Structure 1
Amino acid sequence: MHNQPDYCVVGMDASFYRCKQILIIDDCAPVRTSIKAMAQQIGFESIHLARDANEAIAKCHEIPFDFILSDFNLGEGKDGYQLFETLKTRQLLAPLNCFIMVSAENQRQIVHGMIELQPDDYLLKPFTYQQLEERISRAVKGRIALRKIYVSLFAQDYQNAITECDNAVVQKPEFAAAALRIKGELLLKLRNYAEAEAFYQQVLQQYKTSAWARLGHAVACFYQQRWDDTELQLADLTQFDETKVEALDWLSRLYVKYRRFEIAHDTLYEAVLLSPKNIIRQKTLANLASIIGDKPASARINSKIVAAARHSVNDTAENYLNQARSLVDAAYCGNVLERAVTINNAAKIVDHLAKRFDGSKLTAEITILRSRFLAAKGELADAKQLISEIPLSYQHTITIDSCMDAAKAYFELGDLYASQVYIDKLQHILERDDFLTETQRIMLEMEQLRHEELKNKLKVINTEAAQAYQREDFNTAFDRFAETFDYMPTNPTIAINLMQTLVKGARVTPISQRYVRAAVKLLARSELDDDLMLRFKRYLAQIKALHPDVIPRRRPKEREVL
């Protein structure tokens, strides 16, 4: 794996390991016993065993282990990849901990996954005591030599980590390549792109064939929008195992910058095949599938995400929500029968979701999804009634995916105003600078385009309404305002226009009564500015005086408002 310089490994003295804590994780008892015997031979005395990931995590909460040896396949539950991912995410690995992955398989998917997570080493079964000692010795020497860097990284003191990298290059020349690699990654993390480019150019003068330095240089160029320089470098770096997956990631992101979404999707799909356990990459691929119009493929990918994340730190309710949401999107691609089957499948996912997670915290998301189910089946009245239970901007900390789904739900119901509320919110929460967020921005652009097309249509209708009102053709004006209200049933201004037009002389019919009642109901529960509230009260009083039958008798709860 990375951070492994080419030098002759000399075994550490057995006394060094005597006071060190080591954890051995394997679901096979005889294998645990065998590796324990090897550890004792190396010099370890404080040896801990775990049969699965959950037991290992519990022990890591109690003991800051110096060494962890984990098998990749751990039976039911988390595998070694997900265990290491969890320990890193929860910061349960001490700064100088050496984590070595063990596996009986050498599949490319496992290897590429390990390259991404970057454990200290990867050891294939069967192995001898000498091989294990060599790997442990090599790993610990690297950790000790660069200990000040790792301590700073653990504390997230990145500037000091860069300083310690510079010191290590001078003081520990045999570990210079590892220190330089960390420094380059930190310069990119801190967005010092011009400095990073110059740094990588300097490194490449010394390490001309270094794939990691070439990749870092390409990324620095990418962020400075020198994309022509970047494309050739990235394409070449896809030939090397060490950089293949990451180069495919960046190449796909580059194609997105060129708006070449089809090839971006195909490129990222190749990366997913090589390292399928990276959930963020799979989510990005699902978004790209949606962007190119392949909604069924997006639904299939979201289904795979649910399965792949089942035991990982990424096992969230949002995965299930996204699976159901993508099925709704895909349902519109089929005929009536296919749509019904797809919606029923989505409904089953939501039912399962409410049982697995705390449903009380997902009420709004599930309600919005169920309204989309009804809308897809053509039951618009029921869908509108259901979604009316959710106040606009129902959460201050709404997720990007939930916000996007709410925008879609209201648009599908013809409520452009409410949909725009969520689109405006999306503009403010799409802040991260990563590939997933970039695809989400493109999806937002596509939603905005649908909005603009509908807005242009509504602009024509509103103009006709205003012109009819000016010439005192109040019946035509009311009909046009009503048509606009169908598209924007949560817009207070249109609701006021309906009431005003009725007061001015529009005819009272069962249809106009229904619209005015809906307008009054909306305004009574909305937060209005002083001017709008004043107009609302004035028109409400006039309607009651002129047309007492239009406003139904109030229930006790409504009296205070009306």
Structure 2
Amino acid sequence: MKSRFMTKQSLPVQYTQKSALIVEAISDMRMSLKAMLKGIGIDHVDLAKSGEEAVLRCDEHDYDIIICDYQLSKGKTGLQVLEELRASQLVKASAVYIIMTAGSTRAVLMGTLEHKPDDFLVKPFTQSTFERRVNAAFKEKRYFKSVYTALDNDNMTGALASVEALMLDIDQYPIKTKKMFGELLLKAKDFAKAQAFYQEMMAEKRQEWASLGCARAMIGLDDWSAAKRVLYELIDHGCENPQVFDRIVDVELALGKPEIAQTVLERATVISPLGIMRYIRLVEIATMNHDYLAVEKSFRQLIRIGVNS
């Protein structure tokens, strides 16, 4: 059984039936990427010059792969496009989404880590690099095909069953499989099982993702004090994951400490300054605290980064 599965995984990806969307403001780069995709066997390749056009394209067609530049001149960034496509359910869980960028500032890197595209390419790159990365992304999608198919069909029970089956004999992508299992438990609101799973992972090894997942499960169970201990322990160990700060904000608000919540959220916006929803939340909390200087500052940031979101 295992050898047959490994043989299947080692098979080359079949691209002839796949469709692609390239989102890139520069015409020459669009044509270059189209040639690269044609070179690996994808015949159906659509082009978009802006984020707005990309969203319209995705409303008309389900793509198997989307290659999107981060900086699209005017309009949305590549991450804002991904955020909108996910929120509007216009991109399949089984689809590959790759962000490209000509630079890699800390702000862009943090934003990319938070949005979790399937890959991140820094320009310029060669045909061989492009093909290798696209191939790896599709092979990973193929490994988790049953999970993504269930998610695309809004079948959470089926998705969990598929991941549990993979957990019985983790052959490839061990960390990804475990993270996926925990995330699906949280989405299914099975917080008790999620907490037990994450605590098991934490007992094996100190892992940021497991501690954060455990805290989220504790929050789901309204165990705010326990969640607070886990989250602040992460901070004490030098964690700068803005999602950890987000959950601390949840905890401090639940414990009736909006001033602390504001301070924590302000720190999160320094670490990851491109998160639009954080500034919206900061406006709300600062208003609650009658800190109108912070409200004005947050509005300015919202206008700067969120005008096209």
- TM tier relative to shorter chain: 0.7 to 0.9
Q: How does 1:59-458 map to 2 (within 5 A)?
A: 59-170=57-168, 172-206=170-204, 208-238=205-235, 239-240=238-239, 244-312=241-309
Question: Is the Cα–Cα contact under 8 Å of residues 25 and 51 in structure 1 kept in the other structure?
Answer: yes
1:239-290, CA deviations, whole angstroms, 9 ceiling, x for partnerless residues? 346xx11001112222223433322211111212333443332222112212
Distance apart, 1:174 and its partner CA: 0.9
Q: How does 1:479-518 map to 2 (within 5 A)?
A: none
Aligned-residue CA RMSD (Å): 2.4
Q: Which amino acid aligns with 1:111?
A: L
Q: Which amino acid aligns with 1:84?
A: L
Distance apart, 1:169 and its partner CA: 1.9
1:335-358, CA deviations, whole angstroms, 9 ceiling, x for partnerless residues? xxxxxxxxxxxxxxxxxxxxxxxx
TM-score normalized with structure 1 length: 0.50
Paired residue for 1:515? none
Q: Which amino acid aligns with 1:116?
A: E
Provide the rounded CA distance (Å) in 2 between the counterparts of 1:37 and 1:271.
41
Distance apart, 1:102 and its partner CA: 0.6
TM-score normalized with structure 2 length: 0.87
Identical aligned pairs, as a percentage?
29
Distance 1:57 1:226, change over 3 A: closer
Provide the rounded CA distance (Å) in 2 between the counterparts of 1:307 and 1:210.
35
Q: How does 1:454-469 map to 2 (within 5 A)?
A: none
Distance apart, 1:140 and its partner CA: 0.9
The SS at the match of 1:96 is: coil
Provide the rounded CA distance (Å) in 1 between the counterparts of 2:77 and 2:15.
27
Distance apart, 1:103 and its partner CA: 0.7
Provide the rounded CA distance (Å) in 2 between the counterparts of 1:210 and 1:292.
35
Provide the rounded CA distance (Å) in 2 between the counterparts of 1:12 and 1:74.
35
Distance apart, 1:115 and its partner CA: 2.0
Question: Is the Cα–Cα contact under 8 Å of residues 11 and 134 in structure 1 kept in the other structure?
Answer: no
Q: Which amino acid aligns with 1:249?
A: D
Paired residue for 1:13? 12
2:22 matched to 1:38?
A: no
1:492-516, CA deviations, whole angstroms, 9 ceiling, x for partnerless residues? xxxxxxxxxxxxxxxxxxxxxxxxx
Q: What count of residue pairs does the alignment treat as equivalent?
A: 299
The SS at the match of 2:159 is: helix
Provide the rounded CA distance (Å) in 1 between the counterparts of 2:282 and 2:171.
41
Distance apart, 1:12 and its partner CA: 6.5
Structure showing greater relative contact order (alpha-carbon pairs closer than 8 Å, 6 or more residues apart): 2
Listed as ranges, the gaps of 5+ residues in structure 2 are 1-8
The SS at the match of 1:160 is: helix
Distance 1:261 1:95, change over 3 A: closer
Larger Rg: 1
Listed as ranges, the gaps of 5+ residues in structure 1 are 1-9, 313-562
Q: Which amino acid aligns with 1:98?
A: V
Paired residue for 2:5? none
Distance apart, 1:130 and its partner CA: 2.3
Question: Is the Cα–Cα contact under 8 Å of residues 100 and 122 in structure 2 kept in the other structure?
Answer: yes
1:283-341, CA deviations, whole angstroms, 9 ceiling, x for partnerless residues? 221122122221232233234334433222xxxxxxxxxxxxxxxxxxxxxxxxxxxxx
Question: Is the Cα–Cα contact under 8 Å of residues 73 and 79 in structure 1 kept in the other structure?
Answer: yes
**Higher helix content, 1 or 2:** 1
Question: Is the Cα–Cα contact under 8 Å of residues 110 and 272 in structure 2 kept in the other structure?
Answer: yes
Provide the rounded CA distance (Å) in 2 between the counterparts of 1:37 and 1:287.
47
Question: Is the Cα–Cα contact under 8 Å of residues 289 and 297 in structure 1 kept in the other structure?
Answer: yes
Provide the rounded CA distance (Å) in 1 between the counterparts of 2:243 and 2:202.
19
